[in-house]
Amino acid sequence: MNSPIRFEIRATDGAARCGTLITSHGSLTTPAFMPVGTRATVKAMSPDELGAMGYRLILANAYHLALRPGAELIEKMGGLAQFMGFKGAVLTDSGGFQAMSLARISSIGLDGINFRSHVDGSTLMLTPETAVQIQEKLGADIMMALDECTPYPVDYHRAESSLELTARWAQRCIAARRNPTQALFGIVQGSIFSDLRCRSARQITALPFDGFAVGGLSVGEPKSAMLEMAALSASMLPADRPRYLMGVGTPADILAAIAMGFDLFDCVMPTRNGRNGCAFTSEGRISIKQAIYARDPRPLDPRCDCRPCQHFSRAYLRHLYMAGEILAARALTEHNLFFYSRLMQEAQAAIASQTYQAFATYLLNRLNQSNDRADGFET
């Protein structure tokens, strides 16, 4: 089966690369961050606002959408992009992460993952075959193979059995795909064990996937271990296909991962932090709920030209947040997503000019000079 996506590398700087990913719903420049729209919406943002910020690919979740409103309904409505009114492409996570995050209502067996719905208590059995079928009905441009997202902490033998299950499921996902217009990515697991990461990478890259992801990181392990395993995994992935680091993360983590050669990222951090009163800025992360901002006339970020920074002061945004006004969540979320989009654009330009390392070092130094150390970026 010919790949339904095209990936063209336009520039490199060390392992970092700038490319173009072409899907049936348009193209995007990489490295790229995907806002998380778990239930077919990025919280607090409209699709046209996302497009105006430069986003051409967002993430949704097969498990949640299979429960509500149902994959069949979305299929009848023309697929996810049309259903949500997004003029771009959609990547769907298969539901493997939910087996870990919703462990209290799920159980994993050789055949798949059995969920007791958090919506109505009904049973949903996700097998590799049904996970692909659901994503095909959703009309995702990029589908993810069903995997077991290995939790942390975990012992060696548990991590080993987990990656072997992921490898068997990957083969079944390949056999189950039917729609030649939808791409399918495989996922590398192995927790924090280097030999297991290498084994998983060899297993998954031996299969005819259209791209490859690295999962099971940023789930509670030490930051140094996360970075080490991410770098090792990236080094073993084919250079001619997209590389996706799942669930990562902070601006510092993304900058490090771009230097490793990753192309795609997703994380709830910019939206969740925004709803909880935190803003990412060029000088570090600030918590708008703090009293020091009650009379602060400055914008969130003097270097930012997003709509909230053009129109609202920190004092006003703090008032909105403390008063429980919806506009606080909208404004802070919009700013954070704008910040992440601008970060990606600047990274792309730095790779193209072969100045990426200097760019990343300068930016990290600036971010870490934040006066608000309790809310500063992790490095």
Greatest Cα pair distance in the chain: 61
* Phi, psi angles (nearest 5°) of residue 370: -55, 135
Q: Establish whether 93 is a catalytic residue.
A: yes
Measure the CA–CA gap between 142 and 85, rounded to whole angstroms.
Answer: 18
Of the residues 141, 210, 263, 266, only one is catalytic, namely 266
If you compute the radius of gyration of the chain from its CA atoms, what whole number of angstroms results?
A: 20
Strand (E) positions, 24-118? 26-30, 32-34, 57-61, 89-93, 106-108, 113-116
Query: Which among 240, 375, 341 is positioned nearest to 29, based on CA atoms?
Result: 341
Q: Write the single-letter amino acid at 71.
A: A
| 258 touches 33 (CB < 8 A) | no
DSSP-derived secondary structure letter, 309: H
Per-residue H/E/C for 160-209 = HHHHHHHHHHHHHHHHHCCCCCCEEEEEECCCCCHHHHHHHHHHHHCCCC
* Phi, psi angles (nearest 5°) of residue 134: -60, -45
Of the residues 13, 93, 147, 263, only one is catalytic, namely 93
Q: Which residues are catalytic?
A: 93, 266
